[in-house]
Amino acid sequence: MSIDQPDAGHLQVGQRLTVTIEKLATGGDGVARPEGFTLFIPRTAPGDVAEVAVTEVAKRYGRARLLSLVLPGPDRVPAVCPLADRCPGCQLQHLRYDAQLDAKRAFVSDGLERIGHLRGIEVLPTIGMETPWQYRNKGEFIADAREGRVRLGYQDDAQGFVPLPECRIHHPLTMEILRATEAVATAYALPLAQLITRVSPSDGQALAILVCWAWHDQLPAAAEALRARVPGLAGVLWSQVRGRSVVRRTLADPLTGAKALVQRLGEWEYTVSAESFFQVNTAQGTRLLELVMAYAGPLDGRFMADGYCGVGTFLVPMAGGALRAIGIEEHPAALRDCGENLARYARHDVHLYEGRVEVIFPRLVRKGRQLDVVVLDPPRKGAGLAVLESMAKLNTARVVLVSCDPATLGRDAGDLQALGYRLETVQPLDMFPQTWHVETVVLAVKDGA
């Protein structure tokens, strides 16, 4: 056995070998199988013949890094961004866009089959974008301070901090704010840990949250200086890190200017506070809204619920056609935004619940309520069995499930089938071009409905 084509049981960390990439796995890594052993290799494309170095060996799989291309696969294209081989923000820039869409359809199919144990479910072709660049309206960037200079970028587990002088998937105003924040944070010696931005593409206005390790007396002056540098920056807020990681932080307090934006999806306008969730891709968010409303069907004379209503993205347009509508949201700021957005369109006969869906749905069951149509757009962890079981007890006939993770989608879809629902439509939507992430809209209908 030659050293570059080892037996699977003898792979060692640091070993070099030449492999052929068979497909992409969910997560965007290429999959090779030297001697039948599964290797995951980032930044590779189906059909690539590549020289790689093994970085991890487990019992059933291993990981490797790309050293060089011996022969590029048919779907490989030059990446637009010069940082594409280093930056963790994009995983698929080296793939033709139509190949990205095909891969995301396969990710969804794999989740349904492997996690949900569902066979024979048709997954429709992924709906893509005409121009899959500069689409992100929200950014989160890590700060790195060295030698008196603050830089912003991404944190990569393997390479550490990756500075971001430019990014092709973010709105141009986001990058303008990023560069201005680097200059201002350096000039005012701010203890900056993270920058969060939000842009409204329809009117060119933006918000910035300066996440700091601690309060700094120069924060108000720095915020004014930042707004002076970026005309479209409508407001600056600040937040403090709790502990040692930016994952935990205080709610943002305003320093200057606005603390909310008006976002638009098609004909609908929404007030969105700095920390409320909103779809990061405005163009595809509009398409998502259209799909959800179409799958929900006519609401005349029906009771409907939006289980994770946020600022009212789906609830506001749909409530006007329903006999009765409810929205559930555990984030107080988002729920306040939702109330304002309902009032904007005179949606007065809507009951809003503050809390978790897994708590509110059982409460409705105990009250003997029924729901004809339910929309669920949960966070990445998915809805979960407890939510779906209580929803089924509400005699829900029609469920529109929105998912941003193929694995939790597969789990939830399998649970829905076990609860007596059939999956009528599975439609992937490319909300996140150049990355492995994919949004999926599923219509599930109760058997016999």
Cα 396 to Cα 420: distance, rounded to the nearest angstrom: 11
In angstroms, the Cα distances linking 319 to 64, 315, 334, 375 are 50, 6, 17, 12
**Which residue in the list 81, 87, 167, 404 is annotated as catalytic?**
404
Chain centroid offset of residue 159 CA: 23
373 Cβ neighbours under 8 A, 6+ residues apart: 296, 297, 299, 302, 303, 304, 305, 322, 396, 397, 398, 399, 400
Cα–Cα distance measured from residue 207 to residue 196, given in angstroms and rounded to the nearest whole number: 8
d(CA 439, CA 445): 20
How far apart are alpha carbons 227 and 231 in whole angstroms? 6
Question: Is 404 tagged catalytic?
Answer: yes
Output phi, psi for 119, to 5 deg.
-115, 145
Distance (Å) of CA 58 to CA 6, 13, 25, 67, 345: 15, 10, 17, 21, 56
Q: Measure the CA–CA gap between 42 and 56, rounded to whole angstroms.
A: 13
Residue bearing tokens 């915020």: 223
Do you know the residue count of the chain? 449
What are the residue numbers of the active site? 404
